[in-house]
Amino acid sequence: MVKPQRVLRLVACFALFGAFTGCAATQKHESTGQYVDDSVITTKVKGAIFNESALKTMQINVKTYKGVVQLSGFVDSPTGVTKAGEAARGVADVVSVKNDLIVK
Written as tens digits, the pLDDT of the chain (104 aa) is 556 777 677 667 666 666 655 555 545 667 878 888 999 999 999 999 999 888 866 789 999 999 999 999 999 899 999 999 999 999 999 999 999 999 98
Residue 61 lies in a domain: yes
Domain extent at residue 64: 32-103
Q: What integer pLDDT is reported at residue 91 of this predicted model?
A: 96
Q: How many domains does the chain have?
A: 1
Q: What integer pLDDT is reported at residue 19 of this predicted model?
A: 60
Q: What integer pLDDT is reported at residue 54 of this predicted model?
A: 80
Residue 73 lies in a domain: yes
Contact indicator for 72, 80 with CB cutoff of 8 Å: no
Residue 50: alpha-carbon gap to chain centroid: 19
pTM of this prediction? 0.70
Residue 14 lies in a domain: no
Q: What integer pLDDT is reported at residue 42 of this predicted model?
A: 95
CATH of the domain at 67: 3.30.1340.30
Contact indicator for 73, 102 with CB cutoff of 8 Å: yes
Distance between CA atoms of 94 and 41, rounded to whole angstroms?
7
Q: What percent helix, strand, coil does the chain show, rounded to 5?
A: 50, 20, 30
